[in-house]
Structure 1
Amino acid sequence: MKILSFKSGHDGTVAGADAARGQLLFSYEAEKDSHPRAAPVTPDTFIDAGLWFRELPDVLALSGWSGTGSTHATASGAGYFGTGPGSERIGKKTFFGKTLDYYSSTHERAHIWSAYALSPFPQGQPCYVLVWEGALGDFYEITADLEIRRLGRVMEAPGARFAALYGLADPAFQLPPGQQRRQDPGRLMAAAALGRNGAADTQEQALITHLLEAPLEQALDKVRLAASPLCNAGTQSQALRDLAVKLQDALFLRFHDFAARTLTKGYPLLISGGCGLNCGWNSRWRECGLFQDVFVPPCTGDSGCAIGTAADAMRHFTGRAKLDWSVYCGQPFLDDRAAMNGALNGARTEELKLETVAQALLEGKVIGWARGNCEIGPRALGNRSILAAPFEASMRVRLNRIKGRADDSPVAPACLEEDAARHFSGPLPAPHMLDFHQVTDPQLQAVTHADGSARLQTVSRTQNPAFHDLLTAFKAQSGTGVLCNTSLNFPDAGFINKTSDLCHYARSAGLDGFVAGTSCYWFG
């Protein structure tokens, strides 16, 4: 049984699953291939997904969706909310002349089943699930017989409440009450990474309480907060950075305290929703001692929902809800050099030799690296990466300027899994760059944040042979199997996925060269 699953709305994704083998075939996110961030499904995405199937699939699945802030918004499929009766739509659809089974379940269920399907725990292991995102802030239990039990709502819209602080501080934010920019949660997480924690003063505490406790339409109303010292204080202000840390801490404690009171069976915790991209929160969940284990999928945001609905459909039709998967099951790289009309003129081209790339990195060059399929989720994990040597603080500044970020923004390290304990402390391995680790090696200045932490990715040969081989080659020349690793993309766009775009980006951003497939291109 083959399942073709769609996630409509923003963060559009098309996923395919083979139910007979319990395998995720692909997950193609519409933003990948340099399309705008959070793009809906495009004809390109649909056509790329269709290339997987020699014949039409057996099941057509649709992840439910609707506008969350308007009661008159038209729902797609089973809609946004619900896990009980009425949260599924089951029937038949005629699709390109063939009658298929049709399955749709809510967006809420998609988050739950995505985390469950991708988690390493065997079917039959009861799990807790936390879904926290722009609208949902709820805990659930998945029983041994795959029943969802909702344990309670901690907070409505934690992601939206958190992001509201960034819009408050940004003089450019002029949207009407209740509206937000999808980039703001990530921007505030980045600001928090540069903040100083401490006790909130009276004004800060009043603002935190308002953002977390006021009715949502008031919490997202900048006009109501015009008298706040944070209003239009600036997105680079230290006041914003410091309050972001305090708000982040206060929000986490609301969820932690609920979990400590309610989730008392010690089951593993699965985390889904956009808040699952906050490494500080993920690390605190792992360290809190309430759970047997913690798992966060790399596509924890809405881009994982097509996978979740495919898994939910598989559960409905087969009774199984676990998937074998790879983080590298996004779109394959397209080498379109033949249509580039001289765009590579002036670049020196040679066959990929890892020793040559490693030497260039050691000499201080910054290199784009695109091999194999895209990663699923937003983290560059060695297939769509910008790479550099990790030793000099000045390299962090250069990378941040290439990316258009503040000079002191953190830059993530990728490290050979077998060497990680030499350079970093904390739970290992960490293959998906979703937790903070303390840096214990003083030579790694480019990847050490002001608080001594780093958002680590460990790389095994099984996980990514090509990237592991490059790290090994760099270690052979430098003595250290660590590289700076940041995402390869145009501003406000998904990963670069073709040679022509990569060449244009490398020239415009000031990279020293790039690797595309088995070829190297050098400038200067």
Structure 2
Amino acid sequence: MIDRPLDVIAQSGWRRAVDSDCDDIGAGHAGLDSIIYSPCMMMGQKVSYFTSSHERSHLLCAYGLSPFPQGQPCYALIWEGQFGEFYRIDKDVNITSLGRVIDSPGDRFAFLYGLADPTFNLRPGQIRLSDAGKLMAIAAYGKTDKIDEDGQHIIDVLLDKHIDFRTISKEHFQSSPYYNIGIEHSRFATLAYHFSNAIFEIFYQFAKDVIFDRAPLLIVGGCGLNCDWNTKWIETALFSDIFVPPCSNDSGSAIGTAIDTLFHTKGIAKIRWTPYAGESAYDDIENPSHFSQEQYSPRRVAELLDNGCVLGWVQGRYEMGPRALGNRSILAAPYPRGNLIRLNRIKNREGFRPIAPLCLEEYMGDYFHPAHPSPYMLEFRKVISNVIPAVTHVDHSARPQSVNESQNPRMHQLLTEYKKVSGIGVLCNTSLNFHGRAS
């Protein structure tokens, strides 16, 4: 892949067991000063070996991809499966922890989902990685009324900083009415809503006490994909700006370690990048004769979509990170509401999961508020139009991706043609993959 001798081999830190502080991979999972840089041999060549912690990989990913110039001090928040911590990155890219807020915020979300799911039977400290995102979707169905006493007890226990969360078993709540209540029960949705708000409030109150200027905030970690929370951070007005990379979860760890390597060896902590930096697609069908084939025409595709077709769409290189941003998508019309059901069935997903919209950037204000660009699909917006029901969540929100001509020319062209055909500058967009698969 590389046509010249290697300089450095970089490895992101990790550890083999969640509940173990030993058996590190590379520089390990946690630690701001966990850096190893030493000579080694690879394929008969003398190279340098670099590794830094998983914690640093998140921070350098967000810092290196952010639009702020090197030397601009920033705050950073890592909230993911295990980390829940604020940091300050100074003008020299020195990183200081401002304090751990709460351990395992993402895993606590996943645990609550498992509590209500009768099929969940893992041991204490174990979770299913996909459950956190599902609970975040369910929270939108919850009522804003006061939570009942049983629900408040669960919230109090799960968010008690003095309890080792990883020792709590689902069976701890066996006498609770929420135990195996069912993930689509309306009462559980209200618990999920209040639980989500309670976690955010803990982090918000902590941030108010530790920040001392209005420097920008970098948000990273798997919970950085929570569009509701991202929007809430913007609404707090605590920070001059907020940046969330499209690969905020662990898919950005390798990039973060590469940036950390560049900074350690060259003093450079910024890179040029595009979200379309994944693998190129390849043909895996030798004989496509059983498919009908025709020359690509954006007008023809727009008409098919308007007539109710659901289409797989592949162009260029895949997006980095988990979100489809117009290069590896399943596309459909944003109406009728039944298209939401169709797409979730195609992907074997739960029916409560929302489908995201693609929107022409110049027409964002016709469908969403606020109307400013959202190129990476990482914020919630209020839907202000009734013509896009398939991408309108139950709480009248959506997580749109705005598309302009320079960002993704071919998708912008298709959306433009679709607006000419249908009068609407929005399409349903979900990742071209099956449930539980990256691509």
2: distance between equivalents of 1:451 and 1:168?
Answer: 24
Partner of 1:424: 368
1:209 is the counterpart of 2:156: yes
Letter in 2 for 1:107: H
Structure 1 segment 68-147 matched on structure 2, within 5 A: 69-71=18-20, 73-84=22-33, 87-147=34-94
Partner of 1:62: 11
Is the CA contact 2:16–2:25 (under 8 Å) kept in the aligned structure 1? Answer: no
Sort the Cα spacing of 1:452 and 1:205 in 2 relative to 1 into closer, same or farther, 3 A.
same
Moved more, 101-110 or 403-412: 403-412
Partner of 1:170: 117
Is the CA contact 1:68–1:80 (under 8 Å) kept in the aligned structure 2? Answer: no
Structure 1 segment 345-364 matched on structure 2, within 5 A: 345-364=289-308
Which of 234, 259, 273 aligns to 1:325? It is 273
Letter in 2 for 1:415: C
Sort the Cα spacing of 1:325 and 1:284 in 2 relative to 1 into closer, same or farther, 3 A.
same
Sort the Cα spacing of 1:72 and 1:418 in 2 relative to 1 into closer, same or farther, 3 A.
closer
1: distance between equivalents of 2:309 and 2:211?
Answer: 49
Letter in 1 for 2:364: A
Superposed CA offset, 1:264-316 (max 9, x none):
31110000111111111011001111000111101001110111111111111
1: distance between equivalents of 2:171 and 2:393?
Answer: 35
2: distance between equivalents of 1:176 and 1:293?
Answer: 41
Letter in 1 for 2:243: F
Letter in 1 for 2:320: I
2: distance between equivalents of 1:430 and 1:283?
Answer: 11
2: distance between equivalents of 1:89 and 1:461?
Answer: 43
Is the CA contact 1:210–1:219 (under 8 Å) kept in the aligned structure 2? Answer: no
Higher-RCO chain (CA-CA 8 Å, sequence separation at least 6): 1
Partner of 2:253: 305
Unaligned runs of at least 5 residues, structure 1: 1-50, 496-524
1:241 is the counterpart of 2:185: no
1:376 is the counterpart of 2:323: no
Is the CA contact 2:125–2:169 (under 8 Å) kept in the aligned structure 1? Answer: yes
Is the CA contact 1:358–1:470 (under 8 Å) kept in the aligned structure 2? Answer: yes
1: distance between equivalents of 2:151 and 2:242?
Answer: 32
CA shift for structure 1 position 246? 0.8
Is the CA contact 2:72–2:91 (under 8 Å) kept in the aligned structure 1? Answer: yes
Letter in 1 for 2:341: V
1: distance between equivalents of 2:19 and 2:348?
Answer: 35
Partner of 1:7: none
Sort the Cα spacing of 1:218 and 1:331 in 2 relative to 1 into closer, same or farther, 3 A.
closer
Letter in 2 for 1:279: C
* 4+ runs deviating over 4 angstroms: none
Structure 1 segment 270-285 matched on structure 2, within 5 A: 270-285=218-233
In structure 2, the residue corresponding to 1:420 is in which secondary structure? helix
1: distance between equivalents of 2:239 and 2:251?
Answer: 26
Partner of 1:436: 380
1: distance between equivalents of 2:409 and 2:168?
Answer: 46
Give me the TM-score of the superposition, normalised by structure 2: 0.97
Sort the Cα spacing of 1:241 and 1:430 in 2 relative to 1 into closer, same or farther, 3 A.
same
Is the CA contact 1:164–1:219 (under 8 Å) kept in the aligned structure 2? Answer: no
User: In angstroms, what is the RMSD of aligned CA positions?
Assistant: 1.5
Superposed CA offset, 1:69-121 (max 9, x none):
3336410111111113xx11110121111111111111111111100001111
Partner of 1:316: 264
Sort the Cα spacing of 1:247 and 1:187 in 2 relative to 1 into closer, same or farther, 3 A.
same
Sort the Cα spacing of 1:427 and 1:368 in 2 relative to 1 into closer, same or farther, 3 A.
same
Give me the TM-score of the superposition, normalised by structure 1: 0.81
CA shift for structure 1 position 218? 5.4
Is the CA contact 1:388–1:485 (under 8 Å) kept in the aligned structure 2? Answer: yes
Letter in 1 for 2:24: A
Identical amino acids, percent of aligned pairs: 47
Partner of 1:390: 334
Is the CA contact 2:138–2:352 (under 8 Å) kept in the aligned structure 1? Answer: no
Aligned length: 438
Partner of 1:470: 414
Partner of 1:269: 217
Partner of 1:12: none
Partner of 1:186: 133
CA shift for structure 1 position 216? 3.0
1: distance between equivalents of 2:371 and 2:109?
Answer: 27
CA shift for structure 1 position 335? 2.0
Superposed CA offset, 1:474-517 (max 9, x none):
1121122210111110221112xxxxxxxxxxxxxxxxxxxxxx
Letter in 1 for 2:121: Q
Sort the Cα spacing of 1:313 and 1:408 in 2 relative to 1 into closer, same or farther, 3 A.
closer
Superposed CA offset, 1:42-85 (max 9, x none):
xxxxxxxxx2x11232111111111453336410111111113x
Partner of 1:293: 241
Partner of 2:309: 365
2: distance between equivalents of 1:231 and 1:64?
Answer: 37
Which of 193, 207, 215 aligns to 1:259? It is 207
